Amino acid sequence: MNTKRILLLVILSATFLQCRKLKKVVTKKSETFNDETNNFILQKRLHKLKEYSQKATKRLAALSDYSNFYNKYLTEILRSRVPGTVGHARVKNFIIRKLQEYNWDVKTQNFTMWTPLGPKNFTNIIGTLNPRADRVLALAAHYDSKILPVVNGKFFTAATDSAVPCAMLLDFARDLSDKAKEITSTLEQVSPQLLFLDGEEAFVEWTKTDSIYGSRYMAASMINASHWNPKLALHEISQLDSMDAFVLLDLLGAKDPTFYNWFPTTSRLYESLKKIEKNLRAEGQLFGVNHKHYSGHYFTGQRPEDIGIYGKIDDDHVPFMQKGVPILHIIPYPFPSTWHTLNDDEEHLDPTTIEDLLKIFRHFIFSYFSLE
C-alpha cells in the first residue's frame, strides 16, 4: 500500500469519526428541542385550575365591588368609541395608561386597513403580566363601538358591546398586578394576557371584510411572529401557539344572561366557570338570578345544540379559531334586547349581574394562575 493511499484512508477515517460525533451532537440537541416542544404541549393540555376553600372563596368574592368598578373604569369607557374619533382615542389612551400604571408589559399594534368608508387607522392593545412566560391565557374584548346615528343629542355608548367587558379586564388587571409582586411557579410558566381589540364592528354591514379588523390583523401577525423562547422558536412555535386558550368576553352587563358551552375544546374551562358559579351561590355570594333559565344559573352547562341552536356566532374569536387556538366564548344568547340600539347604555345595565360576573370571572382567573 503506497503512502498516498494510507494518507487517504487516514483522512477518510478521521472524517467518518467526526461525522459520527457531529451526528450524535445534532441528535442530542434535536432530542433536547423535542423535549422542550413536547413539554410545552403537555403543559398546555394538563394545566389544572386551583381549588379554593370556602374561606378563600369568600375572600375572592369580596374583591368585586360594582361602585369601584364603575367609578374607576366603566365611566371612562362609556362613550362613543368609533375608530378615528376623539372618544376612541381617549378610551385607547385610558386603557394603555391603566395597564402601564399596573406594571403590565404593554405593546400596541398600529395598522391601517381598507373599509367601505375608505382607509381607517386602528390600534390593538396587548397587555402581558409576565412577558417571559412560555404560555399565555388570552382574555379579550373589543373596545371600539358601532356607528349609529345621534338622536336628540344621544350618542351610542355601547355599554354591553363592549364597554363592560373592557372595564372588567382592567379591573382584573389591577388585582393580577398586585399578585405579580410575588410571582408563583404557575405565573412563571403561563401568564395572563389582556387583548383589547379594535375595529370589531362593521362600518356599513357585517361581512368577512367589513368586521373584526383588529382580530384578523392580530391573529395573522401572531402566527407569523416567532416565540420569544429560542428553543421553541426553532421548532416553529409562534406567539399564537403560546395561547392556552382565547377567552372572549362580549355583550356583558344586561340582566339574565345565559352562557352556553359553545366549543368542545374548552369544555373543561366552561365547566370550571359553571362549578365556580355553583359554589359561589352555595356560599351566598351571588345575588342575581337568571330568570330566562329554569336553573337560575348563568352558566347552564348546556351546549347550543341541546336547545336547537346550530352554527356559531361571528365574533373576534373567529380568526384565532381558524388558526387552531381553543376558544372560550363568553357571550349571552339570546343577545341583550338593547343590542345595537341607543338603549345599550348605562341606564340599561344591571349592576347586580355585573358584580356577580366579576366574582365568577375573578375566581376563574385566580384559579387558573393558582393565585391566593
**How many domains does one find in the chain?**
2
Check whether residue 59 and residue 36 sit in a common domain. Answer: no
pLDDT tens across 291-331, in order? Answer: 989 899 999 999 999 888 877 899 999 999 999 999 999 99
pLDDT at position 30: 45
pLDDT at position 23: 43
Across 223-359, where does the E strand assignment appear?
243-249, 327-330
pLDDT at position 9: 40
**Average pLDDT of 246-258?**
98
Check whether residue 3 and residue 148 sit in a common domain. Answer: no
Check whether residue 189 and residue 328 sit in a common domain. Answer: yes
Check whether residue 221 and residue 344 sit in a common domain. Answer: yes
Q: What is the mean pLDDT of the chain?
A: 90
Distance CA 321, CA 317 (A): 6
Q: What is the CATH number of the domain that holds 273?
A: 3.40.630.10
Query: Which of 321, 358, 33 shows the shortest CA–CA distance to 171?
Result: 358
Q: How far is CA 332 from CA 193, 225, 254, in A?
A: 23, 33, 9
- Residues with catalytic annotation? 200, 250
340 compared with 231, residue with greater pLDDT: 340
CB burial class (10 A; 0-12, 13-18, 19+) of residue 294? exposed
Task: Give the domain range for residue 30.
Answer: 1-46
15 compared with 234, residue with greater pLDDT: 234
> Taking 50 as the threshold, does the pLDDT of residue 272 lie above it?
yes
**Average pLDDT of 39-46?**
84
Check whether residue 92 and residue 240 sit in a common domain. Answer: yes
**Taking the CA atoms of the chain, what radius of gyration do you get in angstroms?**
25
Check whether residue 322 and residue 344 sit in a common domain. Answer: yes
pLDDT tens across 173-184, in order? Answer: 999 998 777 656
Check whether residue 17 and residue 92 sit in a common domain. Answer: no
Q: What is this structure's pTM?
A: 0.90
C-alpha cell at 335: 343577545
> Taking 70 as the threshold, does the pLDDT of residue 12 lie above it?
no
Check whether residue 11 and residue 81 sit in a common domain. Answer: no
